[in-house]
Amino acid sequence: MPELPEVETVKNELLPHIVGQQITGVTPLWERIVRQPSVEEFCSRLVGQRITGAARRGKYLILSLISHQVLIIHLKMTGSLLLKPASAEPDKYTRAIIYLDNETQIQFRDPRKFGAMWLVEDKNTVIGKLGPEPLEADFTPQTLLKSLSNRTAPIKALLCDQTFIAGIGNMYADEALFAAGIHSSRPGGNLSRDEVERLHRTIQQVLRNSIKNMGASTNTYYRPSGEKGFAHHHFQVAHRGGKPCPICGTSIERIVVRNRGTYFCPKCQPEL
C-alpha cells in the first residue's frame, strides 16, 4: 500500500504539472471509485474547475480547486496516479481519467479496485479523524510519549492506526521499529521514555529517507512518470523474510501482529 513517502512523492511530482491547470473532462471507467457525491455530480462539478493547490494529509492526496471545493484521492493498496499525454490510451487497470487543459491527463490506475475519490466542500468530512503528521513540528517525542501512555495495543498496530498517527503503514512501521530496536508486539504503553525518543527519531529518519528515494515500489506503486521508487532498495527488514539481518546476520522473521504481516530481527528486536 502506498504510505506517506509514496503519496508525498506523488504530490511533489504532480504539483508542477497540474497546479494552475483547468479540468476539461472526467472519465470514470469504474464508477465505484467515486465515493462522494454521485458519479454524475462528481463529473459535472469537476469539469471547468482550476486546480489551485496540491497537498498531502496522511495517505490522502488533496487537490484544492478554485471553487474552494477539494478533490481527495486515496490510492489504497495498489493505486497510482500517472501523468500521461492527452492522447494516451489507458490500460485495463485504469479506473478513472482526469483531463487537463495542458494536453495531459491523470490516469488513476488501480489493479485491485480499492482506490477512492471524494469531491467535498470540507476536507475534514473525509480526513478529520486522522492523527498527527509524523514529520510536522508539533509531533514531538513528548507528544508520542503522552499518546502511548497506558496503551495496551502492540506498538506495530498503533503505528499503523491512522487515528493514532497519520501516514505510516506496514513497511515503514517495520523499518522504524527495527531501527529503534523495539519488538513489534511490545505494548505501546510499556515503552520507556528512552525507547519512545528513539522511536520518534527513527520514524522521522525512515520517512524522510524514503521520500528522498521517491517511495518504495515493492509491488504496484509507480510515480506519476511511470517510473518506480527506490526506497525499497534500502529496507532493512520490510519484505525481507528469511534474509540475514544487516546488523547481526540473524534471519529476518515474519509474524502477524493484529492481522498485519510484520518483519523483524529476533536478535536486534528482542521481545523482552
Kindly state whether residue 38 falls inside one of the protein's structural domains: yes
- Residue 264 — φ and ψ, nearest 5°? -160, 165
Residue 219 DSSP SS3: coil
Confidence of residue 107 (pLDDT cuts 50, 70, 90): very high
Query: pLDDT, tens digit, for every residue of 44-78?
Result: 999 999 999 999 999 999 999 999 999 999 999 99
Q: Could you give the residue numbers annotated as active site?
A: 2-3, 59, 260
Amino acid at 139: F
Residues 148 and 42 in one domain: no
pLDDT value at 80 more than 90: yes
Do 123 and 146 lie in a common domain? Answer: no
Residue 50 contacts residue 20 (beta carbons within 8 Å)? yes
Q: CA torsion 253→255→261→266, rounded to 10°? A: -40
Q: Tell me the chain's radius of gyration from C-alpha atoms.
A: 20
Same domain, 148 and 121: no
User: pTM of this prediction?
Assistant: 0.96
Q: How confident is the model at residue 153 (pLDDT cuts 50, 70, 90)?
A: very high
Cell 469531491 found at: 119
Classify residue 6 by its DSSP letter.
H
Q: What's the DSSP call for residue 245?
A: P
At 86, which CATH number?
3.20.190.10
* CA separation for the pair 164, 131 (Å, rounded): 5
Region 121-133 average pLDDT: 97
* Domain containing residue 225: 141-264
How far CA 17 is from CA of 105, 137, 223, 233, in Å, comes to 10, 28, 13, 28
Domain count, the chain: 2
